[in-house]
Amino acid sequence: MTFVTRFAPSPTGPLHLGHAYSAMLAHDMAQAQSGTFLLRIEDIDRTRARPAWEAQIYEDLHWLGLSWPTPVMRQSDRLPAYAAALDRIWDMGLLYPCTCSRHDIAAAMSAPQEGVPTHGPDGPIYPGTCRARPPDTRRSKHSILRLDIALAFRVLDHVPLVYSEAGRGPVITRPHDMIETVGDVVLARRDMGTSYHLSVVLDDAEQGISDVVRGADLATSTPVHVLLQRLLGLPTPAYHHHRLIRDEAGKRLAKRDDARALSRYRADGITPSELRGMLDMPHPDATI
């Protein structure tokens, strides 16, 4: 099978060292396998995405010496595909509107049981408040829609999810574990008609991604993605979750941290090859 991977940044801030690592790793892996490296702009959050950040992404990645086929997929062009998939899952009876505020969720969680996880990939595990509301609850295009995970596994005959994780071999996620550790995730965010999870799954399938290369912080989202692939009859790529690049304080670099933007290294005269050295990365022509 041909190796197809992608780098999928959100244009909501500058790329930093961790992004450079992720993009170069995906690019190098594709090159080593005579495969394809794709770029995808994850701009569903219209309140935070900015054209200037998107332009900066192209500039930074070119500076790193990366190239990719064009046109580049942009999630903002894919809203009809997300709406269609959401309708399919709605018609399967697996979604319900949620009207809880952050405060409602926190209040409902105020007496957590001992030994039961309280946080999942998207933050606090949803306590299920709106799941119990009458099934005829109105859905509008503004609604937050949650996936009823337990019902989804029932539809899938309670078969555990199996996927391949580089370095770990097959990973098996049992329905019970996922109900406890993930909960009813949001598939449509308010006024958005989609979510990170739904979009990423549909786009990876649309782009024929064979191997997803991304940071270890997204590893806990992967069972959600595999579950959606099963429900929608989509193929499951192999997952490579790479180490997170930490700054001197040992904190994970994120856009909201004071991490130095890639463009700052560049302005300081650091070369892409020095950057690879800082990241302990071999050169692309060396064998991985």
Per CB under 6 A, residues contacting ligand GLU are 8-10, 42, 200, 214, 218
Long-range own/partner contacts, residues 101-109 (CB < 8 A, 24 or more apart) = 104/129, 105/129
Residue closer to ligand GLU by CB (options 16, 214) is 214
For the bound state, the minimum distance from the C-beta of residue 153 to ligand GLU, rounded and expressed in Å, comes to 23
Least distance to ligand GLU, CB of residue 204, Å: 8
Could you list the beta-strand ranges (E) of the chain: 4-7, 36-41, 73-74, 95-98, 119-120, 123-124, 144-147, 161-165, 169-173, 186-188, 211-215, 238-242
Q: Which does 129 bind (CB under 5 to 8 A by kind): Zn ion, ligand GLU, none?
A: Zn ion
Residue 42 near which of Zn ion, ligand GLU, none (CB within 5-8 Å, type-dependent): ligand GLU
Of these partners, Zn ion, ligand GLU, none, which one is at the site of residue 100 (CB under 5 to 8 Å by kind)? Zn ion
Helix (H) or strand (E) holding 17: helix 17-32
Q: Is omega for the bond preceding 11 within 30 degrees of 0, making it cis?
A: no
Which residues of this chain interact with Zn ion, rule CB under 5 A?
98, 100, 129-130
Instruction: Residue 218: name its binding partner from Zn ion, ligand GLU, none (Cβ under 5 to 8 Å by kind).
Output: ligand GLU
Residues 82 and 199 sit within 8 Å (Cβ to Cβ): yes
Q: Give me the least distance between CB of 141 and ligand GLU, in Å please.
A: 23
Q: Which of 84, 83, 9 is nearest to 40 (CA)?
A: 9
Q: Which does 198 bind (CB under 5 to 8 A by kind): ligand GLU, Zn ion, none?
A: none
* Ramachandran category for residue 6: left, alpha or beta (phi over 0 → left; psi -120 to 50 → alpha): beta
Q: Minimum CB separation from ligand GLU for residue 78, in Å? A: 14
Please identify, using beta-carbon distances, which residue of 154 and 243 lies nearer to ligand GLU. 243
